[in-house]
Amino acid sequence: MQSVWLRAIRVRFLLASVIAVSLGLSIAWWQNQSIDIFHAFLTYVGVISLHASIDLLNDYWDYKRGIDTQTKRTKYSGGTGVLPEGLLEPRSMYKMGIAFLIIGTAIGGYFVYVGGIIIAIILAFAVLSIYFYSTKIVDSGLGELFVAIKGTMIVLGSYFVQTSQVAVEPILGGIVLGILSALVLFITSFPDFDADKSKGRRTLVILLGKKKAASALWIFPAICYGVIAISVILQIIPIFALLTLLTIPLMIKATRGLKRSFDNVEKLVPVMTSCISYSRITGALLILGFVVPGFMLIS
């Protein structure tokens, strides 16, 4: 049963939130050469709980709407399959999703108490958007935008609980990670195109159409690299952030692969693998871009 719940929570996708929190902490470390370990731990637990909540509730609503019973599931798309396979009761998944939402909200409430209005705004956005993501946000064609904003707020919030400040560095870093997360949502929407469309969903891929969407993939990394390059040139973030440029070949491979395979689910799997790997590696390199100069300042 434990393995079923881990599958339902989509543990592999939780890494995006771990990277986002780590970036906020690394920026705080770069600036101050110290972090509050207890607050850092609570931040990880709270953000991961909220992430698990949105995954569970999304799976629940996709099953209730019949989306997951119509799409061909891959290891990255089509839901987790635990409800169609009868491994869990839908109501149990819904209750667990709400439980994780409550845990994340409770931890956020503590940070509101110690941090004030900024955290309250971030928490309110998180709670409302998580609960309505699968029933309102995605149906409005705003899924990618929501994910990009969410990523930005995680980085900014993780930074704020350490410093009690709002700064441009975590906002810019958050934008990059938010766009990377939106890229993952975008690419994993291709296999679900027909099922999502038949049930009234309006993903960005549906709005653009598969062919145009496949040609638009490059926009995501272009924004990320543009934000990083300009920020380095303006000396807002360390030059080590340019380590992220090492992932350009991986993105080129994914872009070419998507143009050839956007209408073939089997051939889309390695393309999704490349895009997700690109997102995670780029995020990790951006973290390294702050951690390295932080240690250099100590030495």
Do residues 191 and 77 lie in contact, with contact meaning Cβ atoms separated by under 8 Å? yes
CA distance 275 to 280: 9
Residues 225, 247 contacting (CB under 8 angstroms): no
Residue among 196, 90, 192 at smallest CA distance from 138: 196
| Domain spans, the chain | 2-211
Helices and strands in the chain, H and E counts: 13, 0
Residues 6+ apart with CB under 8 A from 31: 163, 167, 169
Query: Cβ distance 82 to 8 under 8 Å?
Result: yes
> What is the identity of the amino acid at 215?
S
pLDDT of 190 > 80? The answer is: yes
pLDDT digit string, tens, across residues 144-166: 888 898 889 999 999 999 998 98
Average pLDDT over residues 173-195: 90
Rank 20-24, 95-99, 182-186, 252-256 by mean pLDDT and report only the highest.
20-24
Q: Is the pLDDT of residue 68 over 90?
A: no
| % pLDDT > 70, the chain | 95
Query: How far, in Å, CA of 105 to CA of 93, rounded?
Result: 18
Q: Which residues, other chains included, contact 261 with Cβ-Cβ below 8 Å and sequence gap of 6+? A: 267, 268, 271
Whether 240 shows a pLDDT value over 70: the answer reads yes
Cα separation, 286 vs 23, in Å, equals 7
Close Cβ partners of 277 (under 8 Å, ≥ 6 residues apart): 250
pTM for this prediction = 0.91
